[in-house]
Amino acid sequence: MKEPSDLSILVKNSGEWLKGTGPESDIVISSRIRLARNLAGFPFIKKCSEDDRRKIERQVRTRLEAMSAWKDIQYVHVDTLSEVDRQFLVERQLISREIAEAEGSRAVAIDPGEQYSVMVNEEDHLRIQVMHSGLDLDSAWDQIDRIDDTVEGELLYAFHPKFGYLTACPTNVGTGLRVSVMLHLPGLVITQQIDKVFRSMQRINVTVRGLYGEGSQYTGDFYQVSNQVTLGHTERELLTMVGDEVVPRIIDYERKARDFLMEKGEQDLLDDVSRALGILSTARKISSEETMHYLSKVRLGVNLGLIDDVEVATINKLFIHTQPAHLQKLRGRMLTTSDRHVERANYLHQHLRNGGPADVN
């Protein structure tokens, strides 16, 4: 494994999950699967001493370093990072806010393509994560299952023959599996159907969160849908519930909302998305919230054929690269809020000036 002194390699690239090439990628941004695992012989993190945390981190790092298949993995000591660097990894969806804000020894191992990562000393000793572009849960599951088997071959997990994998939170006991799908749902937001749709989801043990998971706000019309509990369910049952039952219904609702908007007011919608592109392309300064709002409209316009010459992958990247920590890493210096607003506008200009509205009959 590689232990970079900074995050420059990540700054220059974008994760595979942002490329917008997976199934249903006009609506589904990414499919993510996480596995919660703990090491036998250690307390759960909240009961760990700092010495326990260091021993867990050292043991995990030593075992991962011995795996030849992981020689290109970047291993980052989160506890030694600056606040901006930790926020950068959160924005990139490579670590959680919980591990970013925690204390003591903690780390993350990151795949160069950013398809998978392993957090060390988050809520559980290990949080293994795989992210794929679009609605691609089956292949994401196949990949994380192989990774989990490989890691389990090196480390002894805390496992109970009756209850399954033991986790810090009782709702994760059993498979330790969290299946999440990030969706872009501007049609349902514009038609004011979003609350109705998600109220219907609450009855079937799924939860809805914002872009950065638990406790985060809904911005840019992004919503993460995931299973609420794992105990008593097999991996296949959870994958089927989220990937074959819940998410396809939401996709269908969103497509119907988009069809309605095109049928009842295509010119109004064209005007709305064109104005959004115009603001992003010409503003001299702009906040994160405004940027997310207008990028959501532009992304909708691109996917409906109302805007030419802007790629979905570009919009997906801008959602992440215009966040505060990313801007500061890209510019190579700390920026005040006012400076970030100016730099964000400049960055948007560089990537959107060639875009424009499509011809509409």
Residues at the binding site for ATP are: 30-34, 127, 178-182, 209-214
**Cα(first)–Cα(last) distance of the chain, in Å?**
56
**What residues are designated binding site?**
30-34, 127, 178-182, 209-214
Of 102, 94, 124, 107, nearest in space to 13 by CA: 94
For 114, list phi and psi in degrees, rounded to 5.
Answer: 60, 25
Classify 242 as helix, strand or coil. Answer: helix
Q: Are 166 and 42 in contact (CB under 8 A)?
A: no
Q: Which residues neighbour 219 within 8 Å (Cβ) at sequence distance 6 or greater?
A: 210, 211, 289, 292, 293
Q: How far apart are CA 240 and CA 262, in angstroms?
A: 32
- Of 341, 331, 296, 330, the C-alpha closest to 315 is 296
SS3 105: coil
Picking from 299, 296, 287, 313, the residue whose alpha carbon sits closest to that of residue 220 is: 296
How open is the CA angle 160-227-195, to the nearest 5 degrees?
A: 160
Residue type, position 96, single letter: S
Q: Which residue is listed with tokens 């993510």?
A: 32
How far, CA to CA in Å, does 197 sit from each of 52, 328, 347? 45, 37, 35
Whole-angstrom Cα distance, residue 207 to residue 202? 7
From the CB of residue 305, how many other CB atoms can be counted at a distance below 10 Å?
11
